[in-house]
Amino acid sequence: MVRFQNSRVIIGFSLCLAAGVALGTPIPAHAQDAAPDPESPETVVEEPSDLPPADEPPLDRVSGADADSAAPPSPDASTSEEGPRILLAPGEVAPEERAGGEYGAQIDPLRGLQQARFDRAEKTSLGGYGELHFNLIKPEGEVAFGRLDLHRLVLFVAHNFNDRFRFYSELELEHAFVAESGGVAVPGSFQVEQAFIDWRILKGESEALYLRAGVILVPMGIINQWHEPPIFNGVERPFVDRVIIPTTWREGGIGIWGEPIEGLRYEFYVIGGLDANGFSGSSGLRGGRLKVTEAVLNGPAFTGRLEWEPTLGMVLGVAPYFGLAGPHELDVNVRVNGIAADWRIRRKGFESRAVVAYFHVSDTDTLRTILPGETAPVSTVGSNLLGVYGEFGYNVIGSVDTEMELVPFIRLEWYDTTFEESDPAFDLPAFLVPTVGLSYRPIPQIVFKFDYQALLASSGPNENRWNLGVGWMF
């Protein structure tokens, strides 16, 4: 099924991206003489002197009707409230007009959505992001090798049904193409990363309560929810956001979210749990994600996030996770409990972010049994997974009047997928990873990145990496 659809999807996807890029291309600024000349002549088509005398009744056309006529204003006796007499400009388009009308009633019950398709297109937005990476990897004592990868090409499709219902999706092609070669799958995959309906429950302007149902991102850490390449430093996502929090981590589920008071946001979801069969010592929970692929569900998981923005430009978040992970082959239902906390700060050209994430996996002794007929344990996962990182950057051209950004940054990460492991046979090294690099954004939606990383293992060989990348979003 996936292979059959793939070529069409990719062609459509490419066309959409090409169109989107073309439409989204900014017009270059003309950096010429910037000095205004106060003596310059102007063309004033209408002056206030054209207006009706002050003793005439004011114009009071409802703003929704402002759009359609350039006819002379007509008096309306309905205004007798206090306040200024207001003369609206003929031809001023009111926001209600721009908003477009209803379309719900246009759906033909016999022809389905066909009749409304073109109207709906105005309310459907396309977006996307992508990143091309070059990695030069030098393991200690081995020959360096290079890797060139269109790591991700993503299409967002969002649709506003009306001001209370909306749909949002993220379709992702990883590693350029999906195929099998001689029966061996290439690394590429096509994935649904998000696909959910949001329903604003409360009427009026309240943002306090939304219902969300569909394929939902687990709201832990930073990158899992906010991963468009131009908005984070470093070519590759941080290790903690890959190895400890298995980004991009999403499952089917339902829950609520909202911002009941300004600066305080919450999310709470019931989603599908993990599958302990896929856990491993080196990549933690990563292989246990079900990805809504008709996988056997071992049980539910509960997750959420509380986020506080005490002042503009600073966000603090905390996110728990409690879930069941099977596996159904064994007589246990492994519990995975975790918590992550993070901050993001961006002020006066300075930026900082940090994440700490911890997971505990129960019954790892049982998971390490070797089933009859097998040669390896069901899973080598550690009982405790812990990771932390902090990052600082500064936009060195922040004081210049340009939207370009040039941000040197430094990040320090430490993670251990087998933290405090008592059995030496399953204990893997912890890693300390300093990263230094540079992000150059000619416009906020496009980034060129360079960085150097050293993977310093607590035991065993180290590794050096040089990474180059270009990323975009629209």
Please list every residue from 81 through 110 that binds another protein, using CB under 8 A: 81-89, 92, 94-96, 98-105, 107
Q: Cα dihedral angle (60, 61, 62, 66), rounded to 10 degrees?
A: -140
Residue whose C-alpha is closest to residue 451's, from 464, 438, 434: 438
- Over the Cα atoms of the chain, what is R_g? 28
Q: Which is closer to another protein, CB of 180 or CB of 294?
A: 294
Interface residue with another protein among 315, 355, 356, 428 (CB under 8 A) is 315
Residue 386 to residues 111, 240, 281, 284, 390: CA-CA distances in angstroms?
Answer: 55, 8, 12, 10, 14
Interface residue with another protein among 1, 22, 41, 422 (CB under 8 A) is 41
- What is 204-237 written as a DSSP string? TT--S-EEEEEEEE---SSTTT---GGGSSSSSP
253: helix, strand or coil: strand
Using the contact rule CB under 8 A, the part of the chain among 1-9, 241-249, 346-354, 446-454 near another protein is 346-354
Interface with another protein (CB under 8 A), residue total 105
Interface residue with another protein among 4, 8, 42, 183 (CB under 8 A) is 42
**In angstroms, what is the minimal distance from the CB of 179 to another protein?**
24
Q: Which is closer to another protein, CB of 88 or CB of 457?
A: 88
**In angstroms, what is the minimal distance from the CB of 158 to another protein?**
6
**In angstroms, what is the minimal distance from the CB of 281 to another protein?**
27
DSSP 359: E
Contact 246, 220 (CB under 8 A): no
Residue 210, number of CB atoms within 10 A of its CB: 20
Kindly identify the residues of this chain, within the stretch 206-235, that bind another protein according to CB under 8 A. 207, 213-215, 226, 231
Residue 53 in tokens: 């005398």
- In whole angstroms, give the CA distance from residue 398 to residue 400: 6
Contact letters (x/-) for another protein, 372-401, by CB under 8 A?
-----------------------x--xx-x
**In angstroms, what is the minimal distance from the CB of 218 to another protein?**
15
**Cα–Cα–Cα angle for 418, 318, 210, rounded to 5 degrees:** 130
Q: Does the footprint of another protein cover residue 27 (CB under 8 A)?
A: yes
- The CA-to-CA distance between both ends of the chain, in Å, stands at 29
Kindly identify the residues of this chain, within the stretch 142-201, that bind another protein according to CB under 8 A. 158, 160-166, 168, 197-199
Q: Does the footprint of another protein cover residue 342 (CB under 8 A)?
A: no
Residue 467 in tokens: 């990474």
Kindly identify the residues of this chain, within the stretch 43-62, that bind another protein according to CB under 8 A. 43-48, 51, 54, 58, 60-62
Q: Which is closer to another protein, CB of 36 or CB of 146?
A: 36
**In angstroms, what is the minimal distance from the CB of 377 to another protein?**
27
Kindly identify the residues of this chain, within the stretch 59-78, that bind another protein according to CB under 8 A. 60-64, 66
DSSP 242: I
Residue 406 in tokens: 């040039």
Q: Does the footprint of another protein cover residue 262 (CB under 8 A)?
A: yes
Kindly identify the residues of this chain, within the stretch 399-428, that bind another protein according to CB under 8 A. 399, 401-403
